[in-house]
Amino acid sequence: MRIELDRPRCEGHGLCEEAAPQLMHLDDDGELVIDVPEVDGPDLDAARSAVRVCPVAALRLAAA
Amino acid sequence: MTMRRIVVVGNGIAGLTACDSLRSAGFDGELTIVGAERHHPYSRPALSKALLHSVDGTSVNGKGDDALQAHVLPAPTHEAEELLGVSATGLDVEARRVLLDGGGGLPYDGLVIASGSRAKRLADGQGAAGPHQDDSPREFTLRTIEDAILLRERLASRPSVIVIGGGPLGMEVASGCLHVGCEVTLVSDAKPLSRQLGGHLASLFTAAAVRRGLRVVGGGKARLAGHGAGARVVLADGTELEADLVVTAVGDEPNIGWLAGSNLLTEGSLRVDSRGRLRPEIVAAGDVAFFPTRRGVQRVPLWTSAIDQAKVAAAGLLQGDAAPEFNFQPYFWTEGFGLSLKSVGFTPVEGAPDYCEPGREDGSVLLRWDNPDGYGTAAAVNYRIPIPKLRRLADAGPAALRPVSPARV
Ligand SMILES: Cc1cc2nc3c(=O)[nH]c(=O)nc-3n(C[C@H](O)[C@H](O)[C@H](O)COP(=O)(O)OP(=O)(O)OC[C@H]3O[C@@H](n4cnc5c(N)ncnc54)[C@H](O)[C@@H]3O)c2cc1C
Ligand code: SF4
């Protein structure tokens, strides 16, 4: 699966980073960077929690 | 005992997260989620923000029709059987059965209570002294997507609005109404946001609100009074106010009616242990539950609180005493009147901040308080900062913000 970010929606809450620090982080300007866009196995669970926690639904998991 | 059938009551973010967490933890038995709302879970925080700060399809940040979608969350992937538009009406703890409206019941080995809360209504508290059914002004509240759509529709004609309640929700509603061009009066018996955030942050928001044209009125407890097409509000000190529309945001009440007679309530409330449990086979999470925190047993009806509680409860249900205990770390955000606030750590915070760092833009600032209990609270106002970093600032103080310098030779 592929993590996709709808950038204009993202408000930089960074809750997703807390859920999946191994997959994404906010840079010093508060822009979200997806470090590992293609995920499977155990990373998929982390990616799902990250997608879920975002209160503005800026993240999506799409078929790779 | 082994759990083969788990029932989750409530299809908000807590119910959803519980289902996801049960699956992630390896639960592959029968999972059923019962939800009174006909929708998949959506983002309630978005209802008073993007959704309300737009009418006629344009939003604050020019995102167009997208504003009407701001609350939509990705579809669930937990493959639970979903009974949407169905309410639990009772619980038989001994027989381990959830009773459903329309008759019938669901047997369970494990139960997650995530029925959330509903908006308190001012009219309910007024009892017989309240306005009569027929001439009572319609009291708007904001909890569901239907509420939000109805309110948007009413705002389209730019009515004058009285908002009752100076908490974060009342302030966001007031900001939304102002933003779309209404004349807005906010009635609050304390300084807006002071109870939730403390005087310093409350002043920042109130000043911004007043600059944008919000009229703030004190005067004690408000009462709704009937009057033709519009609405009349009477304050304890006798002040009378009139407007086309009244929106109340005076708190929320846990949805525990269906648990009456279940013996799960302690003094009328649902209190879980540090692993989210009420009994070994029953857990609760989200806005419905009181849970132990560093500042005592509380209900913390907030988004990340609901998510974190649900994760703890799912583990507590599957692993019992072997599950980790909940270490609640508050995260709160609100926006309105051109300000956006994020805070980590317990609020309200007393007095002026102990640390203050202006950001690059006008009005952007990072703040920290040392609390009397030895823990810190950090807040970012119009300041983009990763939450983990804000958490480090709250926990370890300003030193946590500096890059680690190489050791001196
Ligand atoms: C307008 C608004 C703005 C908000 N803004 C913020 C914010 O900026 N930041 C923040 O942190 N928090 C915010 N919150 C709070 C946050 O949205 C809630 O804490 C969170 O949504 C709670 O989730 P929950 O799943 O516990 O409860 P709920 O979302 O209430 O879900 C419970 C679900 O259970 C259903 N239900 C109830 N009884 C039964 C029954 N007997 N049988 C079956 N189903 C039942 C309900 O219909 C509901 O769908 C806001 C809330 C609102 C209303
Ligand atoms: S949680 Fe959502 S809004 Fe926040 S940084 Fe992640 S994607 Fe952006």
Distance from Cα B278 to the centre of ligand 1, integer Å: 20
Q: Give the range of the structural domain holding residue B362, as residue numbers without chain letter.
A: 349-406
> In angstroms, what CA-CA distances link B266 with B175, B269, B272, B292, B320?
38, 5, 10, 14, 21
Q: Do A14 and B307 touch (CB under 8 A)?
A: no
Complex confidence, ipTM = 0.80
Give the angle B9-B321-B319 at the CA atoms, nearest 5°: 55
Asked if B176 and B97 sit in the same domain, the reply is no
Asked if B127 and B235 sit in the same domain, the reply is yes
Residue B68 has pLDDT above 80, yes or no: no
Q: Where are the beta strands (DSSP E) in A1-64?
A: 2-5, 24-26, 32-34, 59-62
- The pLDDT value given to residue B195: 95
From CA B206, how far away is CA B219, in angstroms rounded?
Answer: 17
Tell me what percent of the residues of chain B surpass a pLDDT of 90.
Answer: 74
Across B30-51, b (16+ Cβ under 10 Å) vs e yields: bbbbbbbbeeebbbbbbbbbbb
> Within 10 Å of residue B224's Cβ, how many Cβ atoms?
24
Residue B21 has pLDDT above 70, yes or no: yes
Residue B390 is which amino acid?
L
CA distance between the termini of chain A: 5
Asked if B103 and B90 sit in the same domain, the reply is yes
Q: How confident is the model at residue B129 (pLDDT cuts 50, 70, 90)?
A: very low
If you search the block for the tokens 């770390």, which residue do you land on?
B329
B13 in contact with ligand 1, CB cutoff 6 A: yes
Asked if B191 and B283 sit in the same domain, the reply is no
Read off the pLDDT of residues B304-316 as tens digits, 9 standing for 90 and up. 999 999 999 999 9
From CA B373, how far away is CA B364, in angstroms rounded?
Answer: 28
Do the domain assignments include residue B275? yes
Asked if B127 and B244 sit in the same domain, the reply is yes
DSSP state of B72: B
Q: What is the count of structural domains for chain B?
A: 3
Average pLDDT, chain B: 90
Read off the pLDDT of residues A4-53 as tens digits, 9 standing for 90 and up. 998 877 877 778 888 899 999 988 777 899 999 999 988 988 898 888 88
Contacts of B29 (CB under 8 A, 6+ apart): B3, B4, B5, B6, B109
DSSP state of B25: T
Tell me the chain B residues in contact with residue A1 when contact means C-beta distances shorter than 8 Å.
none
Q: Looking at the domain A2-62, which fold is it?
A: Alpha-Beta Plaits (3.30.70)
Q: Judge if the upstream peptide bond of residue B403 is cis by omega within 30 degrees of 0.
A: no
Asked if B259 and B281 sit in the same domain, the reply is yes
- Interface of chain B toward chain A, CB-CB under 8 angstroms: 16-17, 20, 24, 43, 45-46, 50, 61, 63, 66, 70-74, 77, 303-304, 307, 331, 333, 340, 342, 384-389
- The pLDDT value given to residue B127: 60
- How far does the CA of residue A41 sit from the closest CA of chain B (Å)? 11
From CA B320, how far away is CA B311, in angstroms rounded?
Answer: 13
- The pLDDT value given to residue B333: 92
Please, which residues bridge with residue A56 across strands?
A: none
From CA B88, how far away is CA B278, in angstroms rounded?
Answer: 18
A35 in contact with ligand 2, CB cutoff 6 A: no
CATH number, position B179? 3.50.50.60
Q: How confident is the model at residue B233 (pLDDT cuts 50, 70, 90)?
A: very high
Q: Which of B152, B156, B209, B157 is nearest to B186 (CA)?
A: B209
B340, two tokens: 């956006």
- The pLDDT value given to residue B401: 78
Asked if B146 and B208 sit in the same domain, the reply is yes
Do the domain assignments include residue B221? yes
Q: Which of B295, B299, B297 is nearest to B285 (CA)?
A: B299
